[in-house]
Structure 1
Amino acid sequence: MAGPAVYGSGVGRPEIYVSTDVETDGPIPGPHSMLSFGSAAFLADGTLVGTFAVNLVTLPDAEGYPDTMAWWETQPEAWAACRADQEDPQSAMVRYRDWLEGLPGKPVFVGYPAAFDFMFVYWYLIRFAERSPFSHSALDIKSFAMAVLGTDYRATTKRSMPRRWFGSAPHTHVALDDAIEQGALFCAMLAERATESLR
Structure 2
Amino acid sequence: MSYILVDVEADGPIPGDYSMISFGAVLVTPGLDQTFYGQLKPISEKFVPEALAVSGHSREQTLNFDEPVKVMEQFAGWIREVSRDQPILISDNNGFDWMFICWYFHHFLGRNPFGHSSQNLGSLYKGLTKDVFKNFKHLRKTKHTHHPVDDAKGNAEALLVMKNEMGLKIRL
Query: TM-score, structure 2 length as denominator?
Result: 0.86
The runs of 5 or more residues in structure 1 that have no matched partner are 1-14
2:14 touches 2:100 (CA, 8 Å); kept in 1? yes
The answer on 1:79 being equivalent to 2:53 is no
Instruction: Quote the Cα distance in structure 2 between the aligned partners of 1:85 and 1:190.
Output: 40
- Specify the alignment match of 1:176 in structure 2: 149
Letter of the structure 2 residue corresponding to residue 166 of structure 1 = R
3-state DSSP class of the match of 2:98? helix
Q: Among residues 116, 128, 141, which one is paired with 1:136 in the alignment?
A: 116
Q: Among residues 106, 117, 135, which one is paired with 2:97 in the alignment?
A: 117
Instruction: Quote the Cα distance in structure 2 between the aligned partners of 1:178 and 1:47.
Output: 16
The runs of 5 or more residues in structure 2 that have no matched partner are none
Q: Among residues 31, 44, 51, which one is paired with 2:35 in the alignment?
A: 51
- Asked which structure has the greater CA Rg, the reply is 1
- Specify the alignment match of 2:127 in structure 1: 147
- Specify the alignment match of 2:26 in structure 1: 40
User: What's the CA shift for 1:193?
Assistant: 4.0
How many percent identity over aligned positions? 27
Instruction: Quote the Cα distance in structure 1 between the aligned partners of 2:24 and 2:140.
Output: 19
Letter of the structure 2 residue corresponding to residue 194 of structure 1 = G
1:40 touches 1:180 (CA, 8 Å); kept in 2? yes
Instruction: Quote the Cα distance in structure 2 between the aligned partners of 1:128 and 1:192.
Output: 40
Q: Among residues 7, 16, 20, which one is paired with 2:6 in the alignment?
A: 20
Query: TM-score, structure 1 length as denominator?
Result: 0.75
Instruction: Quote the Cα distance in structure 2 between the aligned partners of 1:33 and 1:99.
Output: 22
1:161-181 CA distance string (max 9 Å, x none): 6x5x332x2111111111111
CA root-mean-square deviation: 2.2
3-state DSSP class of the match of 1:20? strand
3-state DSSP class of the match of 1:58? coil
